[in-house]
């Protein structure tokens, strides 16, 4: 099952709705539930749906199946008639891993010391970074070098803390594509003297910018992703293939990363953990994002995330 957040633009409706994507159609989940006499409130938002757990999933499967057999006006729309929004417009927590692929560490000038000598390193991005497929990444004057980072993102489906990797795997609701856009170089430092901590602060600021978190096109629930550890992932910049990897190359699996993170923060339904990028980022090739560019990311079975680039 593919869970989307969308707006019905063909009807000039700007309200966010929860939908189930099947083929080239999206089913209005609240309308499908109401048509079957079920609680439409389960689909008030993607966050609410995930928080309702297995009961909501079973109700949604039944309602959409019946809507397919007994179609009524307003229950389904062509994908071409809707505007996809980020599947989680504002995740409860948006956490990203840094340095989770050996070849990406090495292309940045680092040394892979072996998994046994490492821990997962994670940081957060604000909701204001989140945009949908089709939305523009906007580069402000403060950014001298903007870069791409295609990543597999994991959506949390159950509350948990102090989890083992085995337990953590059971807390995953599904997966989506994330592009951790990064400002590798910032302009405001050019006339300032270096101080202790500048590099780390600038690295974080480079992750936090508005529009620097494209996500989507939807959440593919885990029942459709039996092998998340062997998904092909590719990213094109202006039609040129730049990243070509596989999720099996991760140092820490999603479950291992979730288990580690859960030592520090309680995870809730609707939290999102992005699992790091493989080799092939622009900075290693001295290729930066410019206004007018397009980047397209694909992860096997999860769809396409494509965004134009504009100046702020």
280 exposed, middle or buried (CB, 10 Å; 0-12, 13-18, 19+)? buried
In the chain, % of residues over pLDDT 90:
90
Dig out the tokens for 209 from the structure: 């910018």
Mean pLDDT of 207-212: 98
CA 13 to chain centre: 25
pLDDT, residue 73, reads 86
Structural domains in the chain plus CATH codes: 2-85 (2.30.30.230), 94-311 (3.90.850.10)
Q: For 10-49, what is each residue's pLDDT tens digit? A: 777 789 999 999 999 999 999 999 998 999 999 999 999 9
Predicted TM-score (pTM) of the model is 0.96
Averaged over 253-262, what is the pLDDT? 98
Has residue 293 got a pLDDT over 90? yes
Question: pLDDT tens digits for 61-116?
Answer: 999 999 988 778 889 999 999 999 999 999 999 999 999 999 999 999 999 999 99
What is the per-residue pLDDT for 57?
93
Choose among 66, 30, 46: nearest CA to 220: 46
């Amino acid at each position: 099952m593919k869970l989307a957040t969308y707006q019905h633009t063909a009807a000039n409706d700007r309200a966010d709705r929860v939908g189930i994507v099947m083929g080239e159609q999206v089913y209005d989940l609240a309308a499908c539930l109401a048509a079957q006499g079920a609680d439409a409130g389960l689909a008030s938002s993607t966050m609410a749906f995930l928080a309702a757990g297995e009961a909501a999933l079973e109700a949604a499967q039944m309602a959409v199946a019946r809507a397919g057999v007994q179609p009524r006006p307003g229950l389904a729309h062509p994908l071409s008639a809707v505007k996809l929004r980020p599947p989680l417009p504002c995740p409860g927590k948006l956490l990203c891993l840094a340095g989770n692929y050996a070849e990406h560490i090495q292309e940045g000038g680092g040394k892979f010391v072996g998994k046994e000598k490492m821990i997962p390193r994670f940081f957060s991005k604000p909701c204001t970074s989140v945009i949908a497929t089709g939305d523009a990444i906007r580069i402000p004057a403060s950014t001298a070098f903007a870069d791409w980072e295609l990543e597999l993102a994991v959506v949390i489906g159950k509350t948990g803390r102090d989890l083992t990797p085995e337990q953590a795997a059971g807390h995953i609701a599904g997966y989506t594509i994330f592009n951790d856009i990064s400002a590798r170089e910032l302009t405001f430092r050019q006339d300032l003297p270096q101080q202790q901590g500048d590099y780390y602060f600038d690295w974080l600021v480079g992750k936090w910018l508005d529009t620097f978190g494209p996500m989507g096109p939807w959440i593919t629930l885990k029942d459709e992703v039996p092998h998340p550890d062997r998904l092909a992932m590719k990213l094109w910049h202006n039609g040129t293939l730049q990243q070509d990897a596989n999720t099996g190359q991760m140092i820490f699996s999603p479950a291992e990363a979730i288990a580690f993170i859960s030592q520090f923060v309680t995870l809730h339904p609707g939290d999102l953990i992005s699992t790091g990028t493989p080799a092939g980022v622009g900075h290693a090739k001295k290729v930066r994002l410019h206004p007018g560019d397009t980047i397209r990311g694909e992860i096997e079975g999860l769809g396409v995330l494509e965004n134009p680039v504009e100046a702020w």
